Structure 1
Amino acid sequence: MQPKNLASLALAVTLALASCSQGTLTASTPVAPAPGAFVVDPTHSYVAGQLVIGLQDGRGARDVAETIGAQVLAELPELQAAVLSLPAGLSVQKAVRALAGSGALRYAEPNYLMTTPERSGNTPQGGLDASASVTAQATGALNDPQLGKQWFLNNMNAPKAWATATGKGIRIGVADEDIDRNHPDLKANMAFPGFDSPNQTLITAATPYDGSGHHGTWVSGTAAAVGNNGIGGAGVAYEASIVPLTITHDPTGASNVDSARAFVWAVNGPDGIAPGAAGDTDTPAGHRGFVDILNYSFGGTAYSQLSKEAIDYVLSKGVVFVTSAGNTPTTGPASPAWTPGAISVAATTPRNTRTDFSNKGAHLSVAAPGKQVWVTAVRTDTSNASESNYEYVDGTSFSSPATAGAAALVLQASATKNADGSVKQITLTPAQVRHILEDTALKPTGAYSIETGNGIVQADKAVLRATQDAANTVEKGVNVALQFVARSDSKLGIPLVGVTLSGGKRPDQLLYAQSAAGDAIYPAGRVNFREIDAGDYQLYASGPRTVVAGGTPGILSSPLSLAPGAAKGYTLPLDVTFPTDSNEPNDTTATATPIAYGVAKDGVLKNGDQDVFAFTATAGDVAFLNTQTVTGSPDIGLQVLDATGKVLASNSAQRKNVTDAALDFKAPATGTYYVVVKDEMGGNPFNAYWLALTRLTGSESEPNGSGKINGEKFSDLDFTGANALNIGEAKDAAISPTGDVDVYTFTGKAGQNILADINAAESGKPDGVMSLYQAGNPVALSAVDDTNTQDPTVEYVLPADGVYYLTVGAYTSSTQSSAGSYRVSLAAR
């Protein structure tokens, strides 16, 4: 059941997402940021009323939006993606289905909510763990008075690493809540401009802290609090720069779109131009992105194609991506922690064991301290320049930036230097940084484990390895592009393929990606892996999802050897069984399949195909021809021809913004007529549909039964006065006033597979609900809300001879209801 109160859940005006420009952003007069609030769908973890789309090459977001009456809120051209604001009454799921036949998309998915991690500020009860301490000797010569509370620095051997590297010259992008940027133990390390993603504005030194949340300040201090300044403590990379990337002003979390946009901005910088591309003016000389490392400590459980492709973009430009494993704690899926190529970090205790809250699993890269971490905190008075708050925090949110800080030390140590010791050229790839951290980590069990991955980050050993000609001696990663096609037709990309690479650096390693997201077919069939380990893999692939595509999915298991530093592409055929069409050949009037009133026929519109059906009508008959997509994503067009082949009627959509077609045809004379069914997008062997033929017999007459409806459930039904609707008939009707329930009765036979369908006249009016009842049985045999967009279809094999009732209403709740005209038809398959 999908929620219908989208009108009340429309995106708050304060979000005000504009189309993302590729030009340079300018900083306006400093003001406190807008709240950037959004409304979360009450039964799902995504933003209400929004849809994220991935575009095929050369296709425009606005053209796609217009097909469903949506508006483009923002575009992410680097990711070939956009976010749409859906019209009231059109759910995310309905929009996905409606766009499936557009031919313009690679995927469509909700704008998922990436939640603020649950673990946060936590003052230890009964004092700090006795094993958590940092000696004055271990801290080197730093004069920060609270270093003794920062056990995590000693645990990672950061002080020993500082003799060689402090992070100076390296930029860490912190994609998080807003940061108390004027905190005296952060201010000197802040690098501007930063980026406020929800408001799409630059963050400058004069931009006020938004006053919402603490998480970004904790994270920033863990990675790079200023060291040796006589204040508080220090971060792991105490001289690295922090680029603030605000992804939310809402305590609920961050939208996936705001996160992805911040990722792209972190790479491209304020000029919006990719590093090294013509016109790029802001990538620091010798660096690969506007930032060198991107830390992200938010997450969710849903697989997101947008998130995957945004991280792929970061990695493809040579920027290191570090993320928290999550605080569930489970071994189950976590986004983006499972993204191949990312450094996914679990949290450990002072005793080098995984914390009780940290996620675990075979996807982990490394672990780092994440319990009782003493870090910078938002000041109680942010106007007080001398106040320097610190507090204890728990979470993988802090093991991640601790690791990002270690990565900064590695990048600085390995870089070529100018005469003054400053960074001249970054020399390591993201995979090389990950390998250094993994290979030098402390392994509590002596080997890889699902508890701590490759072990607990040891900054000193990592820095030492970085200085040993690491660019030429540490193994580089691999970039792999996979294209899945049908073995029977290499031009046909297979959608919704799940891919797992098993092996590589170790036998139990599993790397997962898929070719598209959502519940509709977008036949791109492309899967990418960025900066993954070289080695010998076993590739497992399966798709498409049968429930969406029909037929039988293809399954592939194949060895795959990947050499270090390779960038390779593979085209992989799958033995896919497509939906079958028992009516073929029926491509011409000479081979037309007979169809009669009251009959529904199944068909498949494969590449370049058309299906032709023949029916007999009496002069004056108003024949109603109605189609419905079963699997795949056809954009159906209908024509009625006479015996000479002349087109007498045609239709390409039963109403605006849908892809199924329906038409009325008044027979001018008694005789045989032909129905031609085409896919206006050219066809696809997954595109199965049914065509029903009924005779329009007039309109309903009120009173037409009665009842109540709440949500999609009927109650207090009274079948008295129900209109007769025989199999083979169609009637026009209306839900009016709001809350009206119509009842239709028919006589059926045992084993008869009936097909009752609603076609609303207007988008959202009404948002139909239909149920089937057997006389004498108060419990519905079948209840359907939406089959395709707003229209329900009941298909049911009748259990016995007798009288049956169809009830029709509009989805109704405390915040949404609808009324309008519709047509009901009844046929048998």
Structure 2
Amino acid sequence: MKRSPSFHLALGSLVVIAAYILGVMSHSPKKTVAPTVVLTPAPAPTITTQLVIDSDLIIKFKDNAEPAGIKSLLNRLNAAVFNYDSLPGFSFQRVRSAMSLQELIDLYKSDPNVEYVEPNYLFHADETRPNDPFFKQMWGHSNTGQEIAGGPGGEPGADIDALTAWDVTTGSNNIVVAVIDSGIDYTHPDLKANMWINRDEVPGDGVDNDDNGVVDDIHGYNAVNNNGDPLDDADHGTHCAGIIGAVGDNGIGIAGINWKVKLMALKFLSVSGGGRLNDVIECINYVIKMKKRGVNVRIMSNSWGGGSYSRALEDAIKAANNAGILFVAAAGNDSQDTDHFPHYPSSYQIENVISVAALDRNDNLARFSNFGAESVHLGAPGVEIYSTVRNSSYRFMSGTSMATPYAAGVAALVLAREPRLSVKDLKKRLIESTTEVAALKGKTISGGRLNAARALKAGKMLP
């Protein structure tokens, strides 16, 4: 079959291969200098200065407490008192005393008018932080200015605010994201549990059990070899998949934007990084077909681009829109204004297409990233992004290829919370919930960075 011109991968360049030397920094305890004692034949009386501190306590007096007894106790301690008018007998008290907190508590407990006394306990917000050991390298999820790949830290807060978003939801196994790329290493321990499985197919029996035209398509489709094994042979698709949905809080590797999700693997890019028009159309066709068969595919993640305008590809993406599927696309790595130099497929003016530029950890537009005030919708982390690669490994990569799965991942997170949201409204939500970034003003439609927390809090189900 005659093939059309190759599409070239919007390939994130490998930035750093970091070796981690895990060590424990030991800190020598501070030495205590003993006070000098001077002995004299006739020592003067010793004057001891005690440290006076404020101690905060919550007191509950007994229902039958004597008012005179309470007053006597408070006067003796010279306590500042705040009473809770709707909670009889309760009070907050601040005592300025040389006694320790425990000594004060014991004193209160000994008073016959006191039912109980407690310290003014300190509470904090419950933060949904995963236990994955390499999460600290994922500045795009949570940027505290930490060192990345052994290099300097970035601007704190220049991230998608994943920790706040995860207080709302960490994803759903009911949402399927199709990753159209070089395939996915579905054996990776950080991805395996989140791989989509075709339940209507019997693995390894050599039969097209579900009669969809592909034999043994357990995790997706391989258009390069025209079979049901979309195993990655180039790392790129696996890296993108990890950003979207590496299993979170499993004690290994990293955490995807969605701790729970289903990843459908579609391979049209070969090991060389190139792919053909007919193969990507076959992948889109497969996704739409499975959607019509009841698979809840809501998003396509597309970290690739190149070639000229294709009406056939445009029509295929329109068909995906009609099927209720968001098409997230890389803006491209040519440092060009796509308002004047279109980049496909991200430049197709279709309702379901969202074009994503790349930002670094200081909220700067990546030097390689395309932009466009009328053609690129938003920016997302795309420089030195740590994620999964083949053979149970992890690696840093850069490119709008990495920014794209960030947007696809947040879209999946929103759908986990609001599964009935339309493609039109989902796209609008991602754009309107961005955080304004100076580097994107006049460079993108939204002028902002992807923000998962704001995208979720904009939902109807949240106050």
- Taking the TM superposition and a 5 Å limit, the aligned residue runs for 1:390-429 are 390-415=394-419, 427-429=420-422
Structure 1 SS opposite 2:458: helix
After superposition, what is the alpha-carbon deviation per residue over 1:664-719, rounded to whole angstroms, capped at 9, x for unaligned? xxxxxxxxxxxxxxxxxxxxxxxxxxxxxxxxxxxxxxxxxxxxxxxxxxxxxxxx
Aligned pairs for 1:751-762 (under 5 A) are: none
Counterparts of 1:177 and 1:453, CA distance in 2: 30
The equivalences for 1:35-50 within 5 A come to: 49-50=2-3
Partner of 2:241: 220
In the other structure, the counterpart of 1:260 is: 281
Q: Which residue of 2 aligns with 1:243?
A: 264
**Alpha-carbon distance in structure 2 between the residues aligned to 1:233 and 1:447:** 28
Partner of 2:128: 140
Shift of 1:438: 0.8
Unaligned stretches of 5+ in structure 2? 21-124, 143-158, 198-217
Secondary structure at 1:434 match in 2? helix
Residues 1:121 and 2:14 aligned together: yes
- 1:122 aligned partner, one-letter code: V
Q: Secondary structure at the match of 1:152?
A: coil
1:353–1:176 CA distance, 2 compared to 1 (3 A): same
Aligned to 1:66: none
User: What is the identity, as a one-letter code, of the residue corresponding to 1:200?
Assistant: N
> SS at the partner of 1:347?
strand
Q: How does 1:15-164 map to 2 (within 5 A)?
A: 49-50=2-3, 111-123=4-16, 140-154=128-142, 155-164=159-168
Q: Does 1:460 align with 2:353?
A: no
- Residues 201-224 of structure 1, C-alpha deviation per residue, up to 9 Å, x if partnerless? 223xxx7x35x2110111100111
The equivalent residue for 2:196 is 191
- Counterpart CA distance in 1 for 2:170 and 2:387 is 17
Matches within 5 A, 1:204-353: 209=231, 212-269=233-290, 275=292, 282-284=293-295, 287=296, 291-331=297-337, 332-340=341-349, 341=351, 342-353=353-364
Decide whether aligned partners of structure 1 residues 461 and 316 sit closer, same or farther in structure 2, where only a CA change above 3 A counts.
same
Residue 403 (structure 2) pairs with residue 373 (structure 1): no
The question of whether the paired residues in 2 share the 8 Å contact of 1:301 and 1:333 is answered with no
**TM-score, normalised by the number of residues in structure 2:** 0.64
Find the residue that maps to 1:392 and give its secondary structure. strand
Query: Does structure 1 retain, via aligned residues, the 8 Å contact 2:11–2:303?
Result: no
Secondary structure at the counterpart of residue 374 of structure 1? strand
Task: Report the Cα offset of residue 268 of structure 1.
Answer: 1.4
Q: Deviations over 1:274-307 (max 9, x none)?
A: 62xxxxxx314xx4xxx11100111014111111
Measured in 1, the distance between the counterparts of 2:263 and 2:163 equals: 20
* Displacement of 1:247: 1.0
- Tell me: CA distance 1:447–1:186, structure 2 relative to 1, closer, same or farther (3 Å): closer
Richer in strand (by share): 1
Using the alignment, how far apart are the partners of 2:446 and 2:333 within structure 1?
15
Inter-partner Cα distance in structure 2 for 1:172 and 1:305: 25
Q: Secondary structure at the match of 2:7?
A: strand
Alignment of 1:811-822 (within 5 A): none
| Separation (CA, whole Å) in 2 of partners of 1:120 and 1:374 | 12
**What's the CA shift for 1:454?**
3.7
SS in 2 for 1:339: coil
Task: State how far apart, in whole Å, the 2-side matches of 1:180 and 1:142 are.
Answer: 22
CA distance in 2, matches of 1:446, 1:176: 29
Cα contact 1:138–1:159 (8 A) shared by 2: no
Identify the residue that residue 596 of structure 1 maps to in structure 2: none
SS at match of 1:175: strand
Residue 122 of structure 1: CA displacement?
1.5
Q: Aligned partners of 1:199 and 1:464: how far apart in 2? A: 43
The letter for the 2-side match of 1:148 is K
One-letter amino acid of the structure 1 residue matched with residue 422 of structure 2: T
CA contact (8 A) 1:188 1:226 kept: yes
Letter in structure 2 aligned against 1:314: A
Distance 1:197 1:466 in 2: 37
Distance 1:143 1:252 in 2: 33
**Aligned equivalents of 1:429, 1:448: Cα separation in 2:** 27
Mapping of residues 324-723 of structure 1, within 5 Å: 324-331=330-337, 332-340=341-349, 341=351, 342-361=353-372, 362-379=374-391, 388-415=392-419, 427-445=420-438, 448-450=441-443, 453-468=446-461
The two structures have a TM-score, normalised by structure 1, of 0.36
Measured against aligned partners, the alpha-carbon deviations of 1:767-802 in whole angstroms (never above 9, x if no partner) come to xxxxxxxxxxxxxxxxxxxxxxxxxxxxxxxxxxxx
SS at match of 2:281: helix
1:262 Cα offset (Å): 0.5
Partner of 1:552: none
Q: 2:179 aligns with which of 174, 181, 193?
A: 174
How much is the aligned-residue C-alpha RMSD, in angstroms?
Answer: 2.4
Q: Read off the aligned partner of 2:398 and give its amino acid letter.
A: D
Letter in 2 for 1:406: V
**Residue 397 of structure 1: CA displacement?**
0.3
The AA in structure 2 aligned to 1:377 is V
Contact 1:237 1:409 in 2 (8 A): yes
Kindly indicate whether the alpha-carbon contact (under 8 Å) linking 2:9 and 2:306 is maintained by their aligned counterparts in 1: no
| 1:444 Cα offset (Å) | 1.1
| CA-CA distance at 1:244 after TM superposition | 0.5
Query: Per the alignment, in what secondary structure is the counterpart of residue 443 of structure 2?
Result: coil
CA contact (8 A) 2:7 2:274 kept: yes
Mapped partners of 2:235, 2:17: distance in 1: 18
Residue 154 of structure 2 corresponds to which residue in structure 1? none
The question of whether the paired residues in 2 share the 8 Å contact of 1:354 and 1:452 is answered with no
CA distance, structure 1, for counterparts of residue 304 and residue 274 of structure 2: 8
| Greater relative contact order (Cα < 8 A, sep 6+) | 2
Shift of 1:249: 2.6
8 A contact 2:240–2:401 mirrored in 1: yes
SS in 2 for 1:241: strand
SS of 1:245's partner is: strand
Separation in structure 2 between the aligned mates of residue 447 and residue 180 of structure 1, nearest angstrom = 34
The 8 Å contact of residues 120 and 215 in structure 1, kept in 2 or not, is answered as no
CA deviations on 1:638-678 (whole Å, 9 max, x unpaired) are xxxxxxxxxxxxxxxxxxxxxxxxxxxxxxxxxxxxxxxxx
Distance 1:347 1:138 in 2: 31
One-letter code aligned to 1:198: V
Choose between structure 1 and 2: higher helix proportion.
2
Structure 1 182/461 Cα, relative in aligned 2: closer, same or farther at 3 Å?
same
Q: Write the distance in 1 (CA, Å) between the matches of 2:439 and 2:180.
A: 34
2: CA distance, partners of 1:125 / 1:197: 33
Provide the identity percentage: 29
Report SS of the residue matched to 1:170: strand
CA distance in structure 1 between the partners assigned to 2:18 and 2:445 by the alignment = 25
Q: Which runs of 5+ in 1 are unaligned?
A: 1-16, 18-48, 51-110, 128-136, 276-281, 380-387, 416-426, 471-829
